[in-house]
Chains A and B, each alone.
Chain A
Amino acid sequence: MSKVIEVLMQMASNAEMSNTKSLAEMLSNANLTKAQELAIQTKDMDALKVATYNLPEIRCYPILLPDDKSEEVSTLINRTVANF
C-alpha cells in the first residue's frame, strides 16, 4: 500500500493521532516526500493530490436516479388499483 495512504489511514483510525506530537512523530517516520508531508501538515488536500503520483481520477459518482421505479412502488400501485 502506498505510504501516503498508510498515513491517511493511520490519521483516520488511530485516536492518538489527534495529539500533535504523536502525529508529527508518525509523519517524520513515514518516508513521505517533503511535498506530501507539508500538504498533510497544512491540511491542503489539493496540494496532496498534486504531490501524490498516479492518483486515480474520480469525476462523478451519483448512483441514484430521481425516478427509479422500484418493484415495491409498482406492486403498491397494482394493489391499490385492485382494491378499487
Chain B
Amino acid sequence: MSGSLVCVGTGMTLGAHISPISQSHIEQADIVFSLMANGFAQKWLEGMNADVRCLQGFYQEGKNRNITYNEMVEAILSEVCNGKKVVAAFYGHPGVFACVAHRAIKKAKLDDFPASMEPGISAEDCLYADLGIDPGKTGCMHYETSQFMFYKRNIDTSAHLILWQVALAGDKSLGKFSTGKAYRQVLVDLLLEHYPRDHEVILYQAKGIAIEPMREDKILLTELVDADLLMQTTLVIPPCSVMQANEELLAKLAKIDKQEERNKNRPALTLVL
C-alpha cells in the first residue's frame, strides 16, 4: 500500500471552524499527527481518530526551532514512507504563518507520495471578523515580527500592519518561548520611526474554545514593552496616515481615458467602392 499525506487546518475555535473535508480526512486517516493550540482541541481531535500523535513533545525551550520543525517533518514522513494514510492536523490554517505543513508536503512530493493541503480558518480570518477590519479598504501587511525586525522593510503607514508571533520579537536564537522587555523595546523603537508615540495598537487573540472571550486590548504603541504578550497574541497596528494619490499615474490614466473618449466620438467611416 502506498502512503499519502494530507495537511489539514482545524480552524481557531474548537468545533466551529473545521471544514467537512478536513474532518473526513482526520476520521479516515491511519495516523493523525497534531499540533493544536489548547488541550481541549487536542482532546477533541483524539475523539475523531484512534491514532492521534501529538507533535508537542518535539518542542523544548532552548532547542533551535528549525531542528524541532525538521524532526516533526521526519516523524510525519516516516509514517508516509511506511505506507500509511497520514494526516497532519494543525490549528488554524496549516499553511498560514506555519512552515511544517509546507515542508512536509514538499518532501513527500519529492519522494513521489501524493500530498496536499486543505485550508482552515486562520487567526487572520478571525481577526477581520472580530475587529471589523476589511483588508481591502486601505490594504494590509502581514509580517512575522522577528523577520520584520531583522530585515529592512518598506512600511506603508496608510495600511494596516499585522505582526505575528509578537511574543517572540527579536529572538535570533530560535530557542526561546518568549522574549523580554529589552527585545520589545527594540521593536517599539523601530515602529516609532514610522508611527507616533501615542498611536493606538491592538493586542488580539481569537477564541480557542466557545467559552473563551476574544482579546482586543487597545494600548499605546509605547506600552507594548510592558504588555502581557502570549504565544497566541497578534499585534494589530492600524494606519496612521492617509493614502497619497499617485498623481503621475493618475495623469497617465486620464490621458488614456481621453484618447478612448475621442475614439468613441469619432464618426465611423464606411468604405465606398
Interface centre among B44, B47, B232 (most CB of A within 10 A): B44
How distant is the Cα of A4 from the Cα of B46 in the complex, in angstroms? 13
List, sorted by A's number, 27 A–B pairs whose CB atoms are closer than 8 Å.
Answer: A1-B47, A2-B43, A2-B47, A5-B14, A5-B47, A8-B14, A11-B15, A11-B210, A39-B211, A48-B40, A52-B39, A54-B43, A56-B46, A57-B39, A58-B36, A58-B42, A61-B56, A61-B59, A61-B232, A62-B231, A65-B69, A65-B99, A65-B174, A66-B144, A66-B165, A67-B147, A67-B150
A residues with a Cβ closer than 8 A to B are 1-2, 4-5, 8-13, 17, 39-40, 43-45, 48-49, 52, 54-68, 71
How distant is the Cα of A62 from the Cα of B211 in the complex, in angstroms? 23
Interchain nearest-CB distance for B244 vs A (Å): 28
Which A residues are CB-close (under 8 A) to B146?
66-67
**The stretch of B75-83, B90-98, B260-268 that contacts the partner chain:** B90-98
Which of the residues A40, A49, A62 comes within 8 Å of B65, measured between beta carbons? A62
How distant is the Cα of A61 from the Cα of B91 in the complex, in angstroms? 9
Which B residues are CB-close (under 8 A) to A55?
39-40, 43
Number of A-B contacts (CB under 8 A): 119
Contact assessment for B13 and A12 in the assembled complex, using a CB-CB cutoff below 8 Å:
yes
Contact assessment for A63 and B210 in the assembled complex, using a CB-CB cutoff below 8 Å:
no
Which B residues are CB-close (under 8 A) to A5?
14, 40, 43-44, 47
Which B residues are CB-close (under 8 A) to A11?
15, 210-211
B residues with a Cβ closer than 8 A to A are 13-16, 35-40, 42-44, 46-48, 54, 56, 59, 61, 65-66, 69, 90-91, 97-100, 106, 144-147, 149-150, 164-165, 168, 171, 174, 177, 209-213, 231-232
Given contacts A9-B15, A43-B211, A56-B43, contact A64 B231 (CB under 8 A): no
Which of the residues B43, B44, B144 comes within 8 Å of A64, measured between beta carbons? B144
Which B residues are CB-close (under 8 A) to A56?
39, 42-43, 46, 54, 56
Contact assessment for B211 and A61 in the assembled complex, using a CB-CB cutoff below 8 Å:
no
Contact assessment for B164 and A63 in the assembled complex, using a CB-CB cutoff below 8 Å:
no
Contact assessment for B212 and A45 in the assembled complex, using a CB-CB cutoff below 8 Å:
yes
Which of the residues A8, A58, A65, A68 comes within 8 Å of B209, measured between beta carbons? A8
Contact assessment for B16 and A63 in the assembled complex, using a CB-CB cutoff below 8 Å:
no
Interchain nearest-CB distance for A12 vs B (Å): 4
Q: Which residue of A lies closest to B213 (CB)?
A: A43
12 additional contacts (CB under 8 A) given A13-B16, A59-B59: A5-B44, A8-B15, A8-B211, A43-B213, A57-B39, A59-B56, A61-B56, A62-B165, A63-B69, A64-B165, A65-B99, A66-B145
Contact assessment for B100 and A63 in the assembled complex, using a CB-CB cutoff below 8 Å:
yes
Which B residues are CB-close (under 8 A) to A63?
35, 69, 90, 97-100
